[in-house]
Amino acid sequence: MSVLVITEHDNAALTTGALSTLTSARQLGDDEIHALVVGHGCKDAADAAAKVPGVTKVLLADAPEYDHRIAENVTPLLVDLAKNYGHVLCAASTFGKNVMPRVAALLDVQPVADIVAVVAPDTFRRPIYAGNAFATVKTGDPIKIVTIRPTAFEDAEAEGGNASVETLSGTGDQGLSSFVGQELTQSDRPELASAKIVISGGRGLGSGDNFQLLERVADKLGAAVGASRAAVDAGFVPNDYQVGQTGKVVAPDLYVAVGISGAIQHLAGMKDSKVIAAINKDEEAPIFQVADYGLVADLFEAVPELEKEIDRVK
């Protein structure tokens, strides 16, 4: 059997979520790995997918109705294609979560969401209850539709392969919904989900302006800035900064939690980080139970000092 990987891209290159999904595909032992690149004006992304080692064929579906990859328009294409495969994979991004269940329902398949490990070609490990337990589930469906937690798999190499690109025709606009606009958060820092270092702030920061303290440290470390739900709900930072069960799941080399108490919903999003450092003035804060290095201190004194100390060791 073959595996179909639905790859996300920015029209030019694959996202890191797509690359980690390709890594998971290589663990399934299928004969062939086909990468689907769907969108509008995305020929370059298909060429990029063709260079990923292990990919045996790239399917390019480039049509106006796939612009912004609206679920209703992409679904007929995916349903048609999926029938030829043993596995259909996608990253558990907002795109993957939006589209894959829609495809699965039309194929009468119960998908397996957000897996962190491939146990066997039909058996997967996935977090439940906000990562407070892990379930191993075996699927009996003939087509296995699976979404992948990107932080749980290494990114596949971007160069070295040489797959052929096959062009598919569009399936037409379904006329159910249409794109109106978007507001993307502008940032020069690395993307939160793939950054090596993440520094996050919580309610303890007190205001949005105070996030500048963290941003200065982040710039010194080449880190991404994240936030707890409390900080987002208080309006300190936009929602896409949020780390946790309902936000992004990160697993950087270093996670610095500043003024974050450590509610289970937040821990679900960051406890797979390699090293966790926490700065909090409450020594009873639950974050200290998962932190490798904890400092009980007032963040307004500690963070500016942190900035200076980083200069000293760098």
Residues between 212 and 271 with contacts to another protein, criterion CB under 8 A: 221, 229, 232-233, 238-240, 245-246, 248, 253-254, 264-265, 271
Which is closer to another protein, CB of 18 or CB of 33? 18
Which distant-in-sequence residues (6+ apart) come within 8 Å of 57 by Cβ? 32, 34, 35, 163, 164, 165, 166
Question: Which of these segments, 23-31, 35-43, 48-56, 138-146, binds another protein (CB under 8 A)?
Answer: 138-146
- The residues in 37-76 that bind another protein, with binding defined as CB under 8 A, are 68, 70-72, 75
β-pair partners for 81:
none
CB of 220 to another protein, least distance (A): 9
Site for another protein in 82-101 (CB under 8 A): 93-95, 97-101
Phi/psi of residue 51, nearest 5 degrees: -90, -5
Nearer to another protein, 161 or 269 (CB): 269
Please tell me the number of Cα atoms within 13 Å of 184 on its side-chain side: 4
Backbone φ and ψ of 293, nearest 5°: -130, 120
Nearer Cβ to another protein, position 12 or 106?
Answer: 106
- Reported as type and span, the H/E element at residue 74 is helix 71-82
First vs last C-alpha separation in the chain? 51
Which of 19, 36, 50, 109 binds another protein (CB under 8 A)? It is 109
* Bridge-based pairing state of the strands 112-115 and 32-39: unpaired
Binding of another protein at residue 180 (CB under 8 A)?
Answer: yes
Which residue in the set 197, 205, 230, 231 belongs to the binding site for another protein (CB under 8 A)? 197
Of residues 72 and 215, the one with the C-beta less far from another protein: 72
Round to whole Å and give the CA distance between 308 and 304. 7
Name the minimum Å distance from CB 69 to another protein.
10
